[in-house]
Amino acid sequence: MSEAEREATVLDVKGLQTVFFTNSGLFRAVDDVSFTVRRGETLAIVGESGCGKSVTALSIMRLVPNPPGKIVGGAIVLEGTDLLGLDEDKMREVRGNRISMIFQEPMTSLNPVMRIGDQITEAVHLHRTMTHKAAWDQAVEMLRLVRIPEPERRAREYPHQLSGGMRQRAMIAMALACRPALLIADEPTTALDVTIQAQILALVLELQQELGMGLILITHDLGVVAQTAQRVIVMYAGKKVEEANVEDLFSNPRHPYTRGLMASIPAVPSLGGNADVRLVEIPGMVPSLTRLPKGCAFAPRCGLAIARCREEYPPLESVAADHLAACWRAAEIASAS
């Protein structure tokens, strides 16, 4: 990494390993995952449920429930500070201040018995020294920034008095109240209807550019990725199996799992076309992380698997400029595209 790249890097995750100790065995939720996020960049993390996306985010925030979970290896460096080396008091100073997170369901994240404005001012008071009036004024300003109409009135209301879209905007206002260097958005539009989803995503991207922060977008929606991200990480069974910029990933995916995800995207039938075309599905199920198969974890579901795939796990290697894939047949896949 050059000096200029190092200065532009907000987050540098190296060899992250997060496990859960369960009655059925050791559960490797995140297994040797590395990536960087630069200022003003959107990095998308995609994959099926259970692939390790959300646990990666919780690990960065140091919010993995312990027990049964524990970060057992790697480094998480935020603007030169290794978060894994901080005690909990120091981490509280970072969380919500230099790094913030938006969760997918605002009604479980907002306190139902506190006014929206009070919840934002509480976040501000944790990290800034200011009077209550100044903090309240900042809370109202944040609600205005996220395009909530009549912010002075809405600040005095409770979560149940706001629509789903407004609650999500309030969550964004709270997350950005201290102008963090990094924002993690974990499925931020899942509980919203399609129209509101588009508004929320556009708002997050607009605020990201305005504040110059790095953004990690965790999603299963490849359409959202195509619209919003510059780089993409594909995860499967706790591991990173592919990483590339958005254009390369969509035009020439090199891992069979990524190709399967792409093929399962519904297409709008053309005028006069066949509307009864079946979606392509990836056969089988994601394996249990306590009983992973030998070799590549995707091999039992992969139509391109060979004997080597079932014996040896492929290394994550460069298959093109700024394009990594963990597949023994990545070169063949590229030539066949």
CB 246 within 8 A of CB 226: yes
Q: What's the CA gap between 283 and 309, in Å, rounded?
A: 17
> In this structure, which long-range contacts are made by residues 172-175, counting pairs with CB atoms below 8 Å and at least 24 apart in sequence?
172/102, 172/146, 172/200, 172/203, 172/204, 172/207, 173/120, 173/139, 173/142, 173/143, 173/145, 173/146, 173/148, 174/119, 174/120, 174/123, 174/142, 175/96, 175/100, 175/101, 175/102
* Under-70 pLDDT residues of the chain: 1-7, 106-107, 191, 267-277, 335-337
Give the per-residue pLDDT at 277: 65
Q: What's the CA gap between 231 and 257, in Å, rounded?
A: 17
Length reported for the chain? 337
Which amino acid, residue 166? M
For residue range 275-300, what is the model confidence (pLDDT) as tens digits? 566 777 888 888 888 888 999 999 99
**3-108+180-266+278-336 classified as CATH 3.40.630.30:** no
For residue range 116-158, what is the model confidence (pLDDT) as tens digits? 999 999 989 888 888 999 999 999 999 998 999 999 999 999 9
CB 53 within 8 A of CB 240: no
Cα–Cα separations (whole angstroms), residue 319 to 112, 188, 244, 323, 325: 50, 32, 10, 6, 7
Q: What's the CA gap between 102 and 169, in Å, rounded?
A: 10
The secondary structure of residue 293, as a DSSP letter, is P
Give the per-residue pLDDT at 291: 86
- The model carries a pTM of 0.90
